Every structure is written in C-alpha cells, then in structure tokens.
Structure 1
Amino acid sequence: MASLSDFVKAYDVRGLVPEQLSPQVATAVGAAFAEVVVLPEGHSGIVVGHDMRPSSPELSAAFADGVTSRGVDVAVLGLTSTDELYYASGALDRPGAMFTASHNPARYNGIKLCRSAARPIGQETGLAEVRDLAQWLLDSPTGLFAPTRGRGTVEAREVLADYAAFLRSLVDLSGIRPLTVVVDAGNGMGGHTVPAVLGTAAGLPELPLTVVPLYFELDGTFPNHEANPLDPANIVDLQAAVVHHGADLGLAFDGDADRCFVVDADGTPVSASAITALVAAREIERARAAGDTEIRVVHNVICSRAVAEVIREHGAQPVRARVGHSYIKADMARTGAVFGGEHSAHYYFRDFWFADTGMLAALHVLAALGGQHAPLSALVAGYERYPSSGEINSTVEDAAAVADTLRAWASVRQAGIDELDGLTVTSPGQGGPMWWFNVRASNTEPLLRLNVEAADRETMEHVRDEILGLVRAGARGGHESERSHD
C-alpha cells in the first residue's frame, strides 16, 4: 500500500502514476478532503478540474468518487488550468481540487487542493490531516468505501468563458498599440486558456494582438519540450520564434498554466523579479486610484532586492514571505496585500482571491508594453538593477551541517542573518558593495538551493563561488543545476 507521506509535499500532492498516485489513492484523498475540509466548513459541493496528462481524467474521476461517497456534490470542470480552477473556487465559493503535476514529466501527476474562495491548503493548514485520514482509509479494510451519508451528485460545469471575461475585466487593454506576441504553451493548459483570454471566442472585444502559437496542442506526454520554462532549454524555441517573427515579446506557460515567463524582443529572458516589480507598480497605482491608503505587496525571500525598492518607491509597504504558494497566499490574506510575486514566476492578486494566475500577469505585461512605445527591454530596465546568480541546486548529505557552516562564515564577517525561509545572509553594510545570499531546502525535491545577488557582477561572482564551495563541500554525488521547481 502506498505511503502518502512519500509524495504529499509541503503544499500539494505529487507522485508517480500509478506506483504512488493511483485511482485508489485518489479516491481516499477525495473522501478525506470531504471529511477534513468540505463538510466542517459547511459546504455541500466542490469543483474539480484536471490538466491534459493521460492519467488525469481517471484520477480526477476517482477523486470525485471519494468526495461523493461522503455526500458532497462535485462540479466537474474537465480540462482546466490551475488558475481557472481557482477562478471557479472563488466565483462559486466552493473548495476545489486540481489534478496536475505542473512542470513534472508525464509519468507524474498530482493534486492541488484549496478551500472555498481559492484559500490555500498546505501541510500546516489541513493537508497533513487530509493525508493522515486518507492513509487510514487506505489501510482500513472497510473505511474507504463505507459512506457515512447519502451519496453526492456529479455534474459537468463550464467556466472558461467566465474566467476569460473576469481576467479581462481586471486589466484595461483598450487603446494599446498593436503587438505581436509569441506564446509557447508547451503542450500544456495554456493552449486551452490563451485563445479564450486573448481571443474573441468568449465574446470579448478583439485586441490589437497578433498571437503566434507554439505547441498549443494539449499533450501530456510533452513531445516538444518539458513544460518547465524555468529551465533555459525549454524556452529556446520561444526565443528563436520571437526573433524570427520580429515579435514584441514572448510568453511561456508551464504545464498547468499558472506561471508565466517573459522574453523581450531580442529573445532575452526577463526575470520574474522584474515582472514582479512591474506588476507591483501597476497594482499599487490601481489600488491608490481606488482609494486605498495602506497598500502592501508580498514578495518571497528569493526575489531581487529591487522588488522591495520599487514597492517603497511607489509608496507601498513590502512584505517578505516564505517561498511557496500556500505561504504567499496566507500572508496576502493576513495583510490585505494587493499583489504578490515569487522568483519562480508565480504571481498572486488580491482581486483574484489572493490566488496565483500567470495569465493575469501576462495581461499586465501586455498592457504596460502596449501603453507606451519603448521596447520591453527598455520598459523593464529600471527593474533589473542587480546581477544575480540564478538558483543553483546541490544535493547535500547533511543540509543542517551546511547551514551551520554558513552561519559561522556569516558570523565571522558580522553579516546579517535571518531564517524566515532557509538561511539568508546579508552584507554587513560597512561601506562595501551590497550582497546577499539565501540557502534553503527545496519544498518539492531533495535539493539545497542557493541564490546570490550583489551590487555588481564581480561581487556577486565572488560571493557565489565562495558560498558554493562551502555548500558543495557537503555535496553528495556532485549534483548541481540551475533549475528551480518551487
């Protein structure tokens, strides 16, 4: 029998199919979700969606079977992006479940769970209880299929047009100049949502956009490249197509289309921190125009220092948070923040139930670019202020020992230390160049992640190499990469 602790992660479920995540496991998780989350909050129904992976229809149907066994109704959305699922949860005020493994290879699948109004569920906010009850149901001879009340119903529900119209209502695209945009959906759910949001299929006004599609065919085997645009290898086709078509920009979405990545007209990637700063500035001004006086924006510990600087320059308060959607959403709800951004290209909006939507971030980029005549590279230049290392991953034998070594290193140099998420060390501020680094364990993989930023490239490279040497002294097998999946 599967041990759920092996693949129930910090803020979602993600495992191999069927070795870990099988239809039987999905049924148990569905029943546990109904018992732990849905019924105690007084809800009679949930929404369920799935991505284009071959295993997703069967797993989502098994999950719905577990939910209905507890007397809870299920609205089945069918093929859905994760942010479309969040829209349904918010608009219908129902808990939800999305079957996707995001950027992971085809042999994986997973479940992202949320409370009503797209409120997050993580290990500390209910996921551990769902896991433990599901495990008990799997281990019990009769528990899984013993209904405690009348069976719930299953009905199909279509929300794509409403989702598209809602997003378009949040960003004013009227009057933008004509733009050519290449969109790489990576055979993921962006191929489902981009035509609806940027097109006229939902009865929306036509936009002055020429969209050049790449890999819009829904195919969970990912025949062209992995649906993880954080890996530079997976945006090579997008970069080439932008240059070939003379496009103004390129957009890439991950497998479940909740993250958006941007390249400029030269095919150069724009950092997620720069997009966070750009969108933050727009959302701050939008909130101020609506009468808000105390405006906050959340960013995670890995974002560039430029993000907090831009937030302050626009008269708002930055709020620093842990990496991960459940933490960002919780901090946004607690502080009433108008926007939140992560280095991994997750973007969160107060007007979208504090949930993440790459599509809404893309609309902001299009509106900002189309509202003036400079190229995207010039538009974001003021947000790309400091050289950074990117995220460098290492497999280590003893992460705690590495952290102790780095604390000692920082103490000798009288550097600042905080441990909000992993270990962040900042330069002493005694007249030398600014630098900071963060080392943290991944929430989704057995890796230690290093990020370094500094006032100039020479300082960044010096700090990077010195710290990386200390980290790799504890490395097992020398596994390093610059791919981030959190």
Structure 2
Amino acid sequence: MRTRDSVDAVIKAYDIRGVVGDGIDVDFVRDTGAAFARLMRGEGATVIAVGHDMRDSSPELAAAFARGVTSQGLDAEMLGLTSTDELYYVSGARNCPGAMFTASHNPAKYNGIKLCRAGARPVGQSSGLATIADDLVSGVAAFDGTAGSVTDSDVLAEYGAFLRSLVDLSGIRPLTVAVDAGNGMGGLTVPAVFEGLPIEIRPLYFELDGTFPNHEANPLEPANLRDLQRFVLETGADIGLALDGDADRCFVIDEKGQPVSPSAICAIVAERYLAEHPGAAIIHNLITSRAVPEIIAENGGRPVRTRVGHSFIKATMAEEGAVFGGEHSAHYYFTEFFNADSGLLAAMHVLAALGHQESPMSVMMERYDRYAASGEINSRLENSAAQAERTEAVLGAFADRTDSIDRLDGVTVSLAGTPAWFNLRASNTEPLLRLNVEAPTAAEVDALVTEILGIIRA
C-alpha cells in the first residue's frame, strides 16, 4: 500500500514528476495509467494517446502506463518518440486524452507524466490529479470487462503539416536559423516542422540523448544558452532558437548573440494576434514583464493576468475565450492549437514577423524591452515552512516601501513611487523559492535582488 506522503511527493500541482526509482517506477506508472484510464472512461473516452521523450527510462515507463490503461478497458495509441506539443496535437486533433512521458528540463535522473483530457484540455490538481492520487493510495479498482489493445502510430509528418498550416512563412525573406535542441526532442521535430520553408536550419545538439551530454535542456538557465549564443555568431544566423527537453518551450537569441526576453516574445506574438482579432483577450502570467499588458492594451486587446503553470493558463484561455497566452518561462499558448502550448508554433510567429521586414532581430525587438528584469532566481529551501518564513521576512523588510501585495501566486509586491515589483513563489516541482524582479533600470534590479536574496539566504 502506498502512503499519502509518497504519492504527494511526485504528484505536483499540474503534472507528475520525480526521480526514477525513487517515487517514479514501473509499478507506480502502471497504476497511474489505470487510475487515469478509469477517470477518462468515466468521461466517455475509449483511447488514450501515449508519447515519450528520449530519456533512457521513458520507453519502459510509457509501456507500463499503457498496461495500466488497457487493464481498464481502454485502448492505448503509442506515439513513440514525441515532443509534448506533438502529443497535444494528437489529443486535440483526435479528441482523445493523452499522456506524455517527460521531465521537461529536469536532469536525466528525473521523469514524469503530463496528462491531458480530450482536446488537450488540462489535468491539474483540482481537475483530476487529486482523484488519481486518491486511487493510488487506496488502490485502483479493477475493471470487470474486456482489456483494451495497444497500437502504434507515427504522427510526426501530420503534426508538422498542421503547424505549417497555422503560420504562413511562404512569403518571408530567406532566414538562417540556428537551433539548439539540447539533445532533446527538438532534434526530431524541428526538421519535420520546417521542411520546405525558406529557412536554412543550422543544427546544434540534434542527437537525441536523454543523458544531456552537452548541457541541461533548460534554456531558462543562462549557462545553457551560451553554446547557442556562440553558434549564432559563428554561423552568422539571423536568429537562434533554444528548445527544452520536450520541445514545448522556445527561447530566442538575436543576431548579436543576445537573449531576447520571453516577455518580449509574448508581446510580439500578441500584436500579431490582435491585428487579426481586434479587442481579443490575451493571457499573461503574473511573472511576465509589465510591458506585456501595456502593449496588449495599446493594441486594443484585453490583458488577462493568471497564475504560473500550464494547467492554469489553459483553463483561463478557455474561460476567457483568449486567442493567445504567454508565460515568462517561454511557454506560449494558442487558440488554434487547442489552447495548448507549442514552442515551435511560437518560433514560427517570430520568424514570420522577422521575415516580413528587413531589420535585424535586435532592432525589431527594441521597442518591446521597456524594463530591466532579473530573470528567475532560485533559492533552495527544503520545506514549505522555511519558504513561508523567508517570504514573510522579505515582506517585513519592505513593509514601508510597499504600494500593494498580490497573493494570486506566491506574493507579488509592487513598490511605492516606482514601476518596480518583485514576486516570490514556491516551485510546484522542486524545493525552491523563486524570485523575479523588474524595475526601470538594471541598477535598480541588482539592488533589489541583492537585498531580497540577502534575506532569503541568510
């Protein structure tokens, strides 16, 4: 019998993730497949699509999940090596639930499962994960009926064609695009998506290797962008793209080898959507730059602020009828992509914007960078009590300088007399307290970061 603590340790707010052999193993995953299938059978599903990334543990875990699915009378459609957004495509296009085996940007020892309902609708803690956790603790009820079957499918070409149908790149000027796949799934999907377009791909680390021999597939960490920054300059590329391990996030490097803020990418894609959908709602999470809601409003759109995390963003997209949504972490969500996120679809919008004008990337993006930002800075605090105590200590230190405190997700503190703000929030997947700071100048950002980290890490 599993304990509640062991299950809660790996079932997070919006996915399942942990160290393989320590919380995540074949038995756990098989039973999770059964619990998910039981939940989906109650909603009328008959088949579940299952994809996996290139981690060494992923094929075995995906197969175990399929055994759990079929034990509950549902069929399992095995997609094999797949990016997360490719799995979302199948879920949306075929209107079936899906399960993606990946730990995204986490190191090789981790694995996990991203689950979705039919139509790529999210499964989070309050929309199914808590029920699955209860079943895993109490034991999944056996199914008194015929077992399901397992079939194999290859949908890569179909997925690539679908993305190309959503963004017209046929009329752009020829572009040289350097892409760092980080030995992740982008090495498989990028060639399929950009096939036949006026784009010359310069590949870096396209070999699928779940041990990540060159660097972690986490472009949010500046150290993991350095190889691409050098590569852009060496190849004379017009733009660089960095993908995370499961290729659902995309970071951008300009032609000078400098990172482009994901908030700026959110703003440029939002402008493109508002040109086609005047007055539409655009989602942004609370960590994106204040420039994002400003630019949305200036273009006649309706900015909608939400919590961090894909299940929250997707749910809000549906509730608000939004056409696009963006996060600080380079997740971008699209109404025509079933309200799901796709790093390559975001990249295609940026390439369309770049290719339909003559300015280099650095010049094109200048007007979107209005403030200086710290990026996300993590501090390891092993339990929630320590995180809460340090957060309250920071609030106390800033009490006489605070204009407002928002507790939508962690604490967002707006400082009096300035556009500066900071957010402190606990990670949903790791024992970390995350800090983001924005201010008018880099010097102001540095001063705030130094002061706040001095309290957190004391």
Corresponding residue for 2:412?
424
Aligned residue number for residue 235 of structure 1: 225
**Distance in 2, Cα, partners of 1:267 & 1:391:** 20
Go from structure 1 to structure 2 and tell me whether the alpha carbon gap of 1:81 and 1:413 turns closer, same or farther (over 3 Å shift). Answer: same
Partner of 1:12: 15
How far the C-alpha of 1:229 sits from its partner, in A, is 1.2
In structure 2, what residue type is equivalent to 1:4? V
Structure 1, residues 236-286: CA drift from partner, whole Å, max 9, x if none? 211111101111011111110000011011110111111111111111212
Instruction: Give the SS at the match of 1:102.
Output: coil
Deviation at 1:428, TM superposition (A): 2.3
Decide which of 352, 362, 369 is 2:337's aligned counterpart.
Answer: 352
* Aligned residue among 419, 427, 447 for 1:442: 427
Post-superposition Cα deviations, 1:326-369, rounded to whole Å, max 9, x if no partner, equal: 11111111101111111111000111111010010010111111
Q: Conserved in 2, the CA contact under 8 Å of 1:410 and 1:417?
A: no
Aligned residue for 1:386? Answer: 371
Amino acid at match of 2:342: T
Distance 2:105 2:394 in 1: 31
Corresponding residue for residue 83 of structure 2: 81
> Where does residue 179 of structure 1 map in the other structure?
175
Identity %: 60
Q: Which residue of 1 is the match for residue 346 of structure 2?
A: 361
Q: Report the equivalent of 1:101.
A: 103
Equivalences for residues 144-159 of structure 1 within 5 A: 146-159=142-155
Q: Supply the distance in 1 between the matched residues of 2:329 and 2:446 (Cα, whole angstroms).
A: 21
Q: In structure 2, which of residues 396, 418, 441 is the aligned counterpart of residue 408 of structure 1?
A: 396
Task: Pick one of 428, 446, 456 that aligns with 1:461.
Answer: 446
Task: Report the counterpart of residue 127 of structure 2 in structure 1.
Answer: 125
The corresponding residue for 1:26 is: 29
- 1:17 Cα offset (Å): 1.4
Q: TM-score, normalised by structure 2?
A: 0.96
CA–CA separation in structure 2 for the residues paired with 1:393 and 1:51: 26
Q: CA deviation at 1:415?
A: 1.5
Choose from 260, 282, 291 the match for 2:250: 260
Partner of 1:477: none
Q: How many residues align?
A: 452
Pairing partner for 1:51 from 31, 50, 53: 53
Distance in 1, Cα, partners of 2:175 & 2:440: 34
Q: Deviations over 1:285-343 (max 9, x none)?
A: 1223xxxxx41111111100111111011100111110110111111111011111111
CA distance in 2, matches of 1:407, 1:16: 34
1:251 corresponds in structure 2 to 241
Shift in Å at residue 444 of structure 1? 1.1
Q: Is the 8 A contact 2:402 2:414 kept in 1?
A: no
Q: Distance in 1 between matches of 2:402 and 2:439?
A: 17
In 1, Cα distance between equivalents of 2:450 and 2:110: 34
Q: Counterpart in 2 of 1:399?
A: 387
CA shift, 1:392, in A, is 1.6
Distance 1:428 1:59, change over 3 A: same
SS at match of 1:415: strand
Q: Which of residues 299, 305, 316 is equivalent to 2:290? A: 305
Measure, in 1, the Cα distance between the counterparts of 2:230 and 2:398. 43
Q: Does 1:191 align with 2:194?
A: no
SS of the counterpart of 2:105? Answer: coil
The 3-state SS of whatever aligns with 1:176 is coil
Aligned partner of 1:161 in structure 2 is 157
Comparing 368-377 with 387-396, greater Cα deviation is found at 387-396
Q: Deviations over 1:110-140 (max 9, x none)?
A: 1000011000011111101112202322xxx
Give structure 2 stretches of 5+ with no counterpart.
Answer: none
Secondary structure class of the residue paired with 1:398 = helix
Tell me, in whole angstroms, the C-alpha distance in 1 between the residues paired with 2:55 and 2:412: 37
Deviation at 1:410, TM superposition (A): 4.2
Structure-2 residue corresponding to 1:296: 281
What is the RMSD of the two structures over their aligned residues, measured on CA atoms? 1.4
Residue identity opposite 2:187 in structure 1: G
C-alpha distance in structure 2 between counterparts of 1:403 and 1:357, whole Å: 33
Secondary structure of 2:372's aligned partner:
coil
TM-score, length-normalised on structure 1? 0.90
**Contact 2:170-2:198 within 8 A present in 1 as well:** no
AA aligned to 1:99 is F
The correspondence for 1:70, drawn from 72, 75, 83, is 72
Residue in 2 aligned with 1:452?
A: 437
- What amino acid is aligned across from residue 170 of structure 1 in structure 2? L
Which amino acid is 2:30 matched to? T
2:367 match: secondary structure: helix
Q: Is the 8 A contact 2:423 2:436 kept in 1?
A: yes
**Is the CA contact (8 Å cut-off) linking 2:169 and 2:198 kept in structure 1?**
no
